[in-house]
Amino acid sequence: MGKLILIPTPIGNLEDITLRAIRCIKEADVVLAEDTRVTLKLLNHLQISKKVYPYHAHNEHKLLDTIVQKIEENSLTVLLSDAGTPAISDPGFLLVRACVDKHISVSCLPGPTAFVPALVMSAFPCDRFCFEGFLPHKKGRQTKVKEIENEERTCVLYESPHRIIKTLKLFQEFFDEQRKICVLREISKIYEQSIRGTVIEVLDYFSANEDKIKGEMVIVIEGKK
């Protein structure tokens, strides 16, 4: 039987690739990648020469059966995202479930992901937490924010710089004004930054520092007291 391995890749700092990740990529019969150009850049950096096949949100349903069949034919298949751990707000879940349904061995290597360092650096309790990925863009957005308002555990969200102000304004509308948040930018990169405070304080910071409304961001929200 073949095997599927999900391989986390660096979220900003290329030194964060593990030795095991490099070995698994080298040993793989099939390399699947969210964006082949991004993965080829990483493989070039690691001096690995391999053909890389696209596996992303737009073709994952269509390719599922073919990939599972290929793995069943005894291939070691690895899946990589552009950055971080596959299946965490990235394609991967469907393939994992399909392989498990067929009793194919699945491993996910420990490695980079944005939400763990963000949670830890937020300095909010991390013995219990919830991860909500990206907020819905339209339908269900307010409902989700109201749910988070009631959440007693620390809550972690992914957000894009294009939406951060809009999202913080929505928090301002629904959250108690004392509720604390922390926005972690550019984790593991040169300009890594944590912005802490109440929603209004963080909003004020971004209004006064518009140059910071860019890059990758994670929002961590203190649990309801």
Which residues of this protein are in contact with ligand SAM, per CB under 6 A? 11-12, 81, 83-85, 88-90, 113-115, 158-160, 184, 186-189, 216-218
Closer CB to ligand SAM, residue 2 or residue 183?
183
Q: How far is the CB of 216 from ligand SAM (least distance, A)?
A: 3
Tokens 């339908």 — which residue? Answer: 139
Distance separating alpha carbons of residues 21 and 54, to the nearest angstrom: 19
DSSP β-ladder status, 217-221 and 154-159: antiparallel
Tokens 């924010």 — which residue? Answer: 145
Closer CB to ligand SAM, residue 133 or residue 140?
133
Give Cα 196 distance to the centre of its chain: 21
Q: How far is the CB of 117 from ligand SAM (least distance, A)?
A: 8
- Which pair of tokens denotes residue 220? 């961590």
Q: How far is the CB of 57 from ligand SAM (least distance, A)?
A: 10
Closer CB to ligand SAM, residue 52 or residue 79?
79
Give Cα 220 distance to the centre of its chain: 14
Annotate 133-166 with DSSP letters as a single string: EEPPSSTTHHHHHHHHHT--SEEEEEE-TTTHHH
Closer CB to ligand SAM, residue 85 or residue 122?
85
Closer CB to ligand SAM, residue 64 or residue 195?
195
Q: How far is the CB of 156 from ligand SAM (least distance, A)?
A: 9
* Cβ-proximal residues to 188 (8 Å cutoff; 6+ apart), any chain: 10, 11, 12, 13, 16, 112, 117
Local structure of 54: helix, strand or coil = strand
Q: How far is the CB of 69 from ligand SAM (least distance, A)?
A: 26
